[in-house]
Amino acid sequence: MTAFAYRNGALHAEGVSLVRLADRIGTPAYVYSNRALVERYRAFATAFAGLDALVCYSVKANSNLAVIATFARLGAGADVVSQGELFRARAAGVPANRIVFAGVGKTEAEMEAGLKARILQFNVESENELRLLARVASQLKRRAPVAMRINPDVDARTHAKISTGKSENKFGIEIPRARELARLAATLPGIDLQGLAVHIGSQLTSVEPFAAAFARMAELARELIAAGHGIRRLDMGGGLGIVYDRETPPDLASYARAVRDAVDGLPIQIVLEPGRYLVAEAGILLSRVIYMKEGTAKRFAIVDAAMNDLIRPALYDAYQPILPVARPRPGANLATVDVVGPVCETGDVIAPGRALPPLDDGDLIAIGGAGAYGAVMSSTYNTRPLAPEILVDGARYAVVRPRQDYAELIGRDRLAPWLKAPAAAKRKTKKKK
């Protein structure tokens, strides 16, 4: 049973009517389904049953505390890529020994934070990072648990902006360099080389690139173990794709089989870092049509959600499904519209050229597949407040991030002293005399 379905003529999130939510909370608003989160997580974890596997939810896909906490309660760890995400993961109750810290540009402060928290592993992506981490750890009289992130030079066959495993991408260490760095790591007292990591991209829709990357990882692991390195963990990254439109991503079983096949016979722990797969379909962005607008060439639905709320269509040419909240009459004629936001950018498009049932001013729509890389990538461009986030569970819901108000939105700006009221400045000069 899907989390978002029509009941009595209106789209619901589980047992909660989206019409009612829009009335109570306003639009635009992100709405997440607890059941969808839990079902996705359980299915994912179950696919790796029997392996020594740790699922580290990739926090950057949706870092709302309530979402992280939902997974933490189910036993998940976290994959973080910044000190801020580490802070969030800890605040949401993820145990430090289930946290892996990835990312190409960890600063000294971030390393210190990870070491002090005693996280499970740093995924190191370059020689200079390895050397700095060794120094920071030694200063703290610690040994940093390290996995080397490998760049396996595999084409993930996904959008260029979310492909990370080719040699021309900034991510990871090429295999010949990894052999050298393993030897270097063994000489650094602050480093405990425990594993290898890989992550070749996001929204992968075929299993072959995964299988190729995992095979290269496992081969390198075997080689390093034979050379005496203490490799005991393989972090297989994230990247499993979902269906936004007509994609045919691998099913969980074949994805899990690619992992199992690669690590067969290796006495190691597996780490998995799913992000999008766990959250994308568990969220919608609820929005209202402000105006319908008939141009000579096109018909536009100008809605109150914009690129600042959901940037995926503008940034990745991403397809997001659009569902009218009022169930369309059977046999309703479809018409092609550009669903656009009110932001002053031609690129502020949510869904170009979409065939939709008739829409009117004031109608509600749900933008699907918005649980991943939605709210987390939002901004306040055009001084638009961050949209609220709502978590639904059965017939109840909770606002897990209220809508930002205008005072809060401008409240961190400061006038420079010379811009303060001239009268006040004069008074000060007088006092001095």
Ligand X SMILES: *Cc1c(COP(=O)(O)O)cnc(C)c1O
Q: Minimum distance between the CB of residue 90 and ligand X, rounded to whole angstroms?
A: 18
Q: Does 165 bind ligand X (CB under 6 A)?
A: no
Q: Does 58 bind ligand X (CB under 6 A)?
A: yes
Q: Minimum distance between the CB of residue 185 and ligand X, rounded to whole angstroms?
A: 20
- Considering the complex, state which of residue 81 and residue 263 has its C-beta at the smaller distance from ligand X: 81
344 is catalytic: yes
Residues 71-100 that bind ligand X (CB under 6 A): 79, 81
Three-class HEC string of 213-280: HHHHHHHHHHHHHHCCCCCCEEECCCCECCCCCCCCCCCHHHHHHHHHHHHCCCCCEEEECCCHHHHH
Determine which helix (DSSP H) or strand (DSSP E) holds 287, and give its type and residue range: strand 283-294
Helices 252-263 + 208-226 axis angle, to 10? 20
Cα–chain center distance at 2: 22
> At residue 51, what are phi and psi to the nearest 5 degrees?
-95, 155
CA distance 13 to 395: 9
Which residue of 11, 54, 61, 325 would you call a contact of ligand X, by CB under 6 A? 61
Q: Minimum distance between the CB of residue 314 and ligand X, rounded to whole angstroms?
A: 19
> At residue 67, what are phi and psi to the nearest 5 degrees?
-70, -45
- Considering the complex, state which of residue 14 and residue 85 has its C-beta at the smaller distance from ligand X: 85
Q: Does 239 bind ligand X (CB under 6 A)?
A: yes
Residues 186-205 that bind ligand X (CB under 6 A): 199, 202
CA distance 260 to 112: 34
Kindly indicate which of the ranges 274-282, 285-293, 412-420, 423-431 contains the residues binding ligand X, using the contact rule CB under 6 A.
274-282
Residues 26-45 that bind ligand X (CB under 6 A): none
Which residue of 12, 40, 60, 88 would you call a contact of ligand X, by CB under 6 A? 60
- Considering the complex, state which of residue 12 and residue 216 has its C-beta at the smaller distance from ligand X: 216
Q: Does 273 bind ligand X (CB under 6 A)?
A: yes
> At residue 89, what are phi and psi to the nearest 5 degrees?
-60, -40
Which residue is associated with the tokens 């009612």? Answer: 20
- Considering the complex, state which of residue 28 and residue 275 has its C-beta at the smaller distance from ligand X: 275
Which residue of 209, 238, 341, 374 would you call a contact of ligand X, by CB under 6 A? 238
Q: Residue 335: CB partners within 8 Å, gap ≥ 6?
A: 299, 355, 356, 357, 358
Q: Minimum distance between the CB of residue 102 and ligand X, rounded to whole angstroms?
A: 4
Q: Minimum distance between the CB of residue 317 and ligand X, rounded to whole angstroms?
A: 17
Count the residues of the shown chain that bind ligand X, applying the rule CB under 6 A: 17
Residues 101-130 that bind ligand X (CB under 6 A): 102
Q: Does 62 bind ligand X (CB under 6 A)?
A: no
Q: Does 286 bind ligand X (CB under 6 A)?
A: no
> Terminus-to-terminus CA distance in the chain, angstroms?
77
Q: Residue 154: CB partners within 8 Å, gap ≥ 6?
A: 165, 166, 200, 209, 212, 213, 216
- Considering the complex, state which of residue 371 and residue 388 has its C-beta at the smaller distance from ligand X: 371
Q: Annotated catalytic residue: which of 344, 395, 416, 421?
A: 344
Which residue of 28, 114, 172, 237 would you call a contact of ligand X, by CB under 6 A? 237
Q: Does 158 bind ligand X (CB under 6 A)?
A: no
Which residue is associated with the tokens 């740093």? Answer: 122
Q: Residue 203: CB partners within 8 Å, gap ≥ 6?
A: 158, 159, 162, 239, 241, 242, 247, 276
Catalytic (active-site) positions: 344
Positions that interact with ligand X (CB under 6 A): 58, 60-61, 79, 81, 102, 199, 202, 237-240, 273-277
